Amino acid sequence: QLQLQESGPGLVKPSETMSLTCTVSGGSISSSFYYWGWVRQPPGKGLEWIGSIYYRGSTFYNPSLQSRVTISVDTSKNQFSLNLTSVTAADTAVYFCASDYTTDVNYFDYWGQGTLVTVSS
Amino acid sequence: DIQMTQSPSSLSASVGDRVTITCRASQSISSFLNWYQQKPGKAPKLLIYAASSLQSGVPSRFSGSGSGTDFTLTISSLQPEDFATYYCQQSYSPPRTFGQGTKVEIK
């Protein structure tokens, strides 16, 4: 069974770049069945998909964030990462990484516990 | 983007009640619809995928139905551990989008 764990700073200053890493255990990030995704949730609000990456590096992003988002993968470490540039208070949220099962159907089946990132000076 | 609209936004129910939550897509998404349960401070948990397939390990009191634009999540007999927020999510086309959530509270 897959396990995912987010890591990274919990506090980021406005206009700076936020970076998070998700470590995958219990399976290979190089699986052909999975993309690997990021989802965020502002305090008290709903879920927003940020983007997903395949182990070979192909990505797709939410157009609402595409200009500021980069997702990368490191297969040697079984990790994938999120960079979000020019952050503002609106980017304050719990950030989840998730396995993005993708075959003839698609769903997020395993999730990290989430990490709160606060944007504040 | 495909907009997902859930109703109601919240509901109060008692243990043992039958609960139904609906989700409507702004365009046809075939059966590319998933349901998640989220408890406070926790990650979402996949309940139903492809509109009606029960995720492994999820109790059979949960069921999903629908296709096209209208979908339903049903809890046949509400249990104490089912009080949570439920989200639908479409996987028909990017960007993947979620409904705004339905909070199920204790009456």
Each residue's pLDDT tens digit, B51-65: 999 999 999 999 999
Among A37, A47, A63, beta carbon nearest to B87: A47
- Which residue does chain A place closest to B96, by CA atoms? A49
pLDDT bin (cut points 50, 70, 90) of residue A95 is: very high
Report the pLDDT averaged over residues B14-27.
97
- The pLDDT, as a whole number, for residue A25 is 97
- The pLDDT, as a whole number, for residue B62 is 98
Pairing of strands A115-119, A11-12: parallel
| Nearest-neighbour CA in chain B from A114: distance (Å) | 6
User: How far is B98 from B92, CA to CA, in rounded Å?
Assistant: 12
**Would the CB atoms of A105 and B1 count as touching at under 8 Å?**
no
Report the pLDDT averaged over residues B11-39.
97
Q: What is the mean pLDDT of chain B?
A: 97
Strands (E), chain B: 4-7, 10-13, 19-25, 33-38, 45-49, 53-54, 62-67, 70-75, 85-90, 97-98, 102-106
pLDDT bin (cut points 50, 70, 90) of residue B19 is: very high
- The pLDDT, as a whole number, for residue B3 is 98
Each residue's pLDDT tens digit, B58-87: 999 999 999 999 999 999 999 999 999 999
Is the confidence at residue B49, as pLDDT, over 90? yes
Is the confidence at residue A85, as pLDDT, over 90? yes
Each residue's pLDDT tens digit, A11-48: 999 999 999 999 999 999 999 999 999 999 999 999 99
Question: pLDDT above 70 covers what percent of chain A?
Answer: 100
Residues of chain A contacting B, Cβ within 8 Å:
37, 39, 46-49, 52, 60-64, 96, 98, 105-109, 111-114
- The pLDDT, as a whole number, for residue B107 is 86
Q: What is the mean pLDDT of chain A?
A: 97
User: Would residue A106 be called left, alpha or beta, if left means φ above 0 and alpha means ψ between -120 and 50 degrees?
Assistant: beta
Q: CB burial class (10 A; 0-12, 13-18, 19+) of residue B98?
A: buried
- The pLDDT, as a whole number, for residue A36 is 98
Question: pLDDT above 90 covers what percent of chain B?
Answer: 98
- The pLDDT, as a whole number, for residue B35 is 98
**B 48-107 → A contacts, CB under 8 A:** 49-50, 53, 55, 87, 89, 91, 94-101
